[in-house]
Structure 1
């Protein structure tokens, strides 16, 4: 049994396809298939049910994959120990980012980080929170940037910044005359929301629930992007809430429709999260330093109230 064989097994388990797994691990399909077959013969079991399309793990195969993941992670920890001892900051680093953070935060830090640490091969994937949690726990991500707290036993959270909610209220809306707003002013039936699956949507619902305003049984309209929500609000279909960094990209003509909350402002906590196994911490630490150093100049809000992203 070799570490390489276990890596091949994990690749097939993830992609559910031998050809894709071979491409991912940079070997030919016959080589990958032969090595997995050798492992199955050695263990005298079948790891994969090849009659299924896509390929599925057998019952014992599921347990083998869990153990293989632990072994591969521990083997990578050995190299990690060596890299840290040598002060080497480089190699592959897989980072997940939630969709409501990706378009605003990534352009702010990516070039600086890549310039400062050119030996790090940063692989970035846009994922929702549930996908991020699963991939961190399964060892497919080294870290992620997500709204917290998430209360996951096997995941550590390191807050980077606190991003206030800002209301976008068109001129013809009932709240337009107000200079500032409060949570009690919101009516969930009047708020345009992101579609289900976005943690920012859940934060807004939690905020409205806290004010006990609205029935929460239906929503007028939902969309996949803040830009669409703002356009719909401009059409007189309601109001919406956006994270503060997104307000930096609205047009000058739309700025007048932005309304801030009375302090303490409702806000989301955005954190760098990673497994408690703490692999590749030398990269995680410098990534945190770069992002927090840059974001400090963009968000100066202090008096905020963190709204949970967890569904209630």
Structure 2
């Protein structure tokens, strides 16, 4: 049994196809098939049911794949130990970022990080929290930036910053005249929301402690994937919306008059660097944390905050 064979098994388990798995691990399909067959012969079990389309794991195969992930992670740790001992910060690093953080935070730190750590090859992917958790647990991501706390047993969290919720309330709205708003002032029926899958929407639902309930006077229902769309609709008099603080920095000067902060403590989301408990590539994770901390302090100075859970509690 070899580590290489286990890598091949994990690739087939992921793609459920020998050809795609071979492409993933950069070998020919016959080579990959032969190595997996050798492993099956050595163990005297079938790992994959090849009669199914797509290929499926056998019951024993599922247990083998679970253990194979642990073994491959531990083998990666050996190289990681050597890299840390040498002070080497480099290599491929796969980072997931949730959509409501990507457009604001990434431009703030990415250029600095690339210049400081030119040997790191960052592969960044925009993903919803659910996909991030799955890919962290499967070893397809090294770390991610997401709203926390998630309170998952296999995921570690390092808080990067607290980002207040901000009301965007256009002229003509009942709350526009207020200098600061309270949570009790909010009515979900006139708040434009992000679509399902965004943890920021779940945070708003938690903040308001209610689900959206369409009423008789509703003329439309809209859930957008874009803060920009919601701001434009609010400007057209179709409601108000809530934004993460950093998104307000990119608003037009004329739109700043529509921003309303909450009375303290400010409801806020906690944004963290999250990673698997195996703690691989910690030197790069720490480099990311330090780089982000260096740029975020000047952008967000709010301290008296109330953290709103990103996990919707029905």
Task: Judge same fold: TM > 0.5, yes or no.
Answer: yes
Residue in 2 aligned with 1:288?
289
Q: 2:9 matched to 1:9?
A: yes
In structure 2, C-alpha distance between the alignment counterparts of 1:225 and 1:19, rounded to whole Å? 37
Residue in 2 aligned with 1:50?
50
Using the TM superposition, give the Cα deviation of residue 51 of structure 1 relative to its aligned residue in structure 2, in angstroms: 2.8
Q: 2:213 matched to 1:217?
A: yes
Residue in 2 aligned with 1:276?
277
Using the TM superposition, give the Cα deviation of residue 115 of structure 1 relative to its aligned residue in structure 2, in angstroms: 1.3
Q: Is the 2:5–2:39 Cα contact (8 Å) retained in structure 1?
A: yes
Q: Is the 2:266–2:305 Cα contact (8 Å) retained in structure 1?
A: yes
Q: Spell out, residue by residue over 1:45-89, the C-alpha distance to the aligned partner (whole angstroms, 9 max, x if none).
A: 222222333322222111111010000000000111111111111
Q: What stretches of structure 1 move > 3 A for 4+ residues in a row? A: 214-220
How many residues of Structure 1 are paired with residues of Structure 2 in the alignment? 308
Q: Spell out, residue by residue over 1:6-64, the C-alpha distance to the aligned partner (whole angstroms, 9 max, x if none).
A: 11111121222222222221222222222112212222222222233332222211111
Equivalences for residues 124-135 of structure 1 within 5 A: 124-135=124-135
Q: Is the 2:160–2:272 Cα contact (8 Å) retained in structure 1?
A: yes
Using the TM superposition, give the Cα deviation of residue 215 of structure 1 relative to its aligned residue in structure 2, in angstroms: 6.0
Q: Please, which runs of 5 or more residues in structure 2 have no aligned partner?
A: 216-220
In structure 2, C-alpha distance between the alignment counterparts of 1:237 and 1:56, rounded to whole Å? 49
In structure 2, C-alpha distance between the alignment counterparts of 1:27 and 1:197, rounded to whole Å? 36
Residue in 2 aligned with 1:264?
265
Q: 2:175 matched to 1:175?
A: yes
Residue in 2 aligned with 1:243?
244
Using the TM superposition, give the Cα deviation of residue 293 of structure 1 relative to its aligned residue in structure 2, in angstroms: 0.7
Q: Is the 2:173–2:237 Cα contact (8 Å) retained in structure 1?
A: yes
Q: Is the 2:205–2:211 Cα contact (8 Å) retained in structure 1?
A: no
Q: Spell out, residue by residue over 1:131-157, the C-alpha distance to the aligned partner (whole angstroms, 9 max, x if none).
A: 111222222221111101111111111
Q: Is the 1:189–1:215 Cα contact (8 Å) retained in structure 2?
A: no
Residue in 2 aligned with 1:234?
235
Q: Is the 1:146–1:271 Cα contact (8 Å) retained in structure 2?
A: yes
Using the TM superposition, give the Cα deviation of residue 309 of structure 1 relative to its aligned residue in structure 2, in angstroms: 0.7
RMSD over equivalenced CA pairs, Å: 1.5
In structure 2, C-alpha distance between the alignment counterparts of 1:28 and 1:113, rounded to whole Å? 36
In structure 2, C-alpha distance between the alignment counterparts of 1:83 and 1:122, rounded to whole Å? 17
Deviates more, 1:97-106 or 1:30-39: 30-39
Q: Is the 1:168–1:259 Cα contact (8 Å) retained in structure 2?
A: yes
In structure 2, C-alpha distance between the alignment counterparts of 1:112 and 1:137, rounded to whole Å? 29
Deviates more, 1:44-53 or 1:254-263: 44-53
Q: Is the 1:162–1:267 Cα contact (8 Å) retained in structure 2?
A: yes
Structure-2 change in CA distance of 1:46 and 1:115 (3 Å): same
Structure-2 change in CA distance of 1:73 and 1:215 (3 Å): closer
Equivalences for residues 32-51 of structure 1 within 5 A: 32-51=32-51
Q: Provide TM-score, normalisation by structure 2.
A: 0.94
Deviates more, 1:115-124 or 1:133-142: 133-142
Q: Secondary structure at the match of 2:76?
A: helix
Q: Provide TM-score, normalisation by structure 1.
A: 0.95
